Amino acid sequence: MPTTVIEAQMRTPGGKNVNRRLRKSGIIPAVMYGPGKQPIAISVVPQIVQGILHSESGRNSIFTISLDGSEQNNAMVKDYQLDPVQGTLIHVDFIQIAMDRLLQLTVNIELIGEPQGVKIDGGIMDFVTRSIEVECLPADIPESIKLDVSQLQINDYLRVNNLQVDSKVKILSDPEVVLVTIIPPVKEEAPVEAEAAKVEEPEVIKKGKTSEDGKEE
């Protein structure tokens, strides 16, 4: 169940100047969406939202939004905006969720172990696909999906269908999508010896002077 509570206040939607004054006061504008409901304009303290985004579960975190100290809703971060210069949070969209309804969301892949093809044979691991789409109830959202790569040799690879997940989690991504592969090491070409690289010049035959009667002197 959600443990983090975000205190939010209703606000009157305004333009850039209104939002700028709001941010100067230490809070940011936000919008809360819900199935079959009109979006609600609210304001929140950005530090709490940043803490959620930087947690292990990140955008898949479930928390409670307390609206004006009374109404409470389970929610997740739907989207957010950062200041392009300072990188600070300037706006966030929340979406209300029902704990008994399935969600479709993106979950990161977490690689476990060091591949034999890298450790012993000097290969290069290419992490091709770093996240997949899944469907599950909010309470069953995994923080990440672990994938053991320790036995991979040169030219080996693992696909989505190699993932092991809880029976409560349904994978929606294409099972044939490659997640990780081990590339052979790049071989350095032996330097070509300078003498072998030289091109032999044709021998020039020197001729003597020709006399007036056509004979060489």
Asked if residue 32 belongs to a domain, the reply is yes
Residue 92 lies in a domain: yes
Residue 36's domain spans which residues? 5-96
pLDDT recorded at residue 170: 98
Q: Does residue 190 form part of some domain?
A: no
Start-end of H helices in 4-113: 16-24, 46-53
Q: Is residue 215 part of a domain?
A: no
pLDDT of residue 15: 81
Structural domain total, the chain: 2
Same-domain status, 122 and 88: no
CA 118 to chain centre: 23
Which band of pLDDT confidence, cut at 50, 70 and 90, is reported for residue 70? confident
- Cα 131 from Cα 101, distance rounded (Å): 22
Taking only the tens place, the pLDDT of each residue in 134-144 is 999 999 999 99
The burial of 105, by beta-carbon neighbours within 10 Å (0-12 exposed, 13-18 middle, 19 or more buried), is given as middle
Domain identity same for 25 and 69: yes
In a domain, 53, yes or no: yes
CA–CA dist 123, 121 (Å, integer)? 6
Q: Is residue 135 part of a domain?
A: yes
pLDDT mean over 84-89: 92
Tell me the two tokens of residue 165: 């997940």
Identify whether 123 is part of a domain: yes
Residue 212 lies in a domain: no
Query: Residues 71, 128: one domain?
Result: no
Across the beta sheet with 131-136, the strand order is 145-148, 103-112, 131-136, 170-171
What's the confidence (pLDDT) of residue 2?
A: 67
Residues 132 and 160 in one domain: yes
Does 115 lie in the same domain as 78?
no
Question: Are residues 11 and 29 in contact, defined by beta-carbon separation less than 8 angstroms?
Answer: yes
pLDDT band at 3; cut points 50, 70, 90: confident
Please indicate, yes or no, whether residues 23 and 71 belong to a single structural domain of this protein. yes
Q: Please tell me whether residues 69 and 30 are part of one structural domain.
A: yes
Q: What is the mean pLDDT of residues 157-165?
A: 97
Same domain, 108 and 75: no
- Are 131 and 89 part of one and the same domain? no
- Prediction pTM value: 0.74
